[in-house]
Amino acid sequence: MGRAHEVPVSFDNVRDKNMMQLTKLNLVIFPVKYDGRYYSDALAAGDFSKLVYYGDICVGSIACRVERVSATTVKLYIMTFGILAPYRRLGIGAKLMGHILDVCHKNATVLEIYLHVQTNNEEALAFYRNFGFEVREKIENYYTDIEPPDCYLLVKELSRILKGRNTT
């Protein structure tokens, strides 16, 4: 008997030539339609917005917005993070989040990562907690077109790690 073939997971930056992949994923995964600004922010985020491939199939993405805090520091806002349903629970999302955290740790300018999660999305809350995100606050009526409309603001501070690093 042969060993099971492990399908490789790979990442690609979001760019003009693959923007349609991100658009299609978002239509399938999320209950919200995103506007042009979302896609401009995802494109501008460079290494912080990725498509994830399982073999040669695009199965998920993370799209971030880089927010300038000062001349030398930024915050990273996760606008969307999703994996197609048939590919969940295979560790693909964890690999994608691990990759983004590695990019953040190598980029000494990122102070924190934050995002909003719908209050009833227990699976997402558990996922982010596993990566050290903490609930900062509950925001009522954050969403206008989905139920429930409330969300949690989740934050992962990286400044504690950066303070011990020599960034010169």
Query: What 3-state class would DSSP assign to 149?
Result: coil
Residue at token pair 């197609």: 84
Strand pairing report for 110-118 and 74-83:
parallel
Amino acid at 73: T
d(CA 162, CA 126): 25
Residues that are catalytic? 77, 116
Query: What 3-state class would DSSP assign to 68?
Result: strand
Token pair in block for residue 22: 């991100």
Rg of the Cα trace of the chain?
A: 16
d(CA 38, CA 62): 12
